[in-house]
Amino acid sequence: EVQLVESGGGLVQPGRSLRLSCAASGFTFDDYAMHWVRQAPGKGLEWVSGISWNSGSIGYADSVKGRFTISRDNAKNSLYLQMNSLRAEDTALYYCAKDWGESIAVANYFDYWGQGTLVTVSS
């Protein structure tokens, strides 16, 4: 059974940093691209960032480019999101999502999602 478990969320002041983690199990982690998708309270889904199976290709939404860094450790079956210079508008539930394929360059879909970790940016 595929499982994606996010952690690392919490309350953080504007301008500070936070690192999210996603522990994956139930599939061959290094065969697939992975993503972070967020959802602000009462709002829609927003793709944040994606990383290919071997970290060779990485993409970011314009809203987080230059502030967030995605990475993965295939030996630990883990995905990460380093979030710096956080803003109030980054407040959201952050989902870890598995890609159907290995590359972020192909318009694939997300076939499994975690339950999310909540990030609240407020003073």
Partner 1 sequence: SYELTQPPSVSVSPGQTARITCSGDALPKQYAYWYQQKPGQAPVLVIYKDSERPSGIPERFSGSSSGTTVTLTISGVQAEDEADYYCQSADSSGRVFGGGTKLTVL
Residues in contact with partner 1 by the rule CB under 8 A: 35, 37, 44-47, 49-50, 59-62, 95, 100, 104, 106-111, 113-116
Nearer to partner 1, 8 or 59 (CB): 59
Distance in Å, CB of 111 to partner 1, minimum: 6
Distance in Å, CB of 76 to partner 1, minimum: 23
Angstrom CA distances, 60 to 25, 32, 49, 77, 121, stand at 24, 17, 4, 21, 20
**Secondary structure of residue 91 in the 3-state scheme:** coil
Distance in Å, CB of 85 to partner 1, minimum: 20
Nearer to partner 1, 81 or 114 (CB): 114
Can you name the residues that pair with 89 across neighbouring β-strands? none
Q: What is the rounded CA–CA span in Å between residue 2 and residue 66?
A: 31
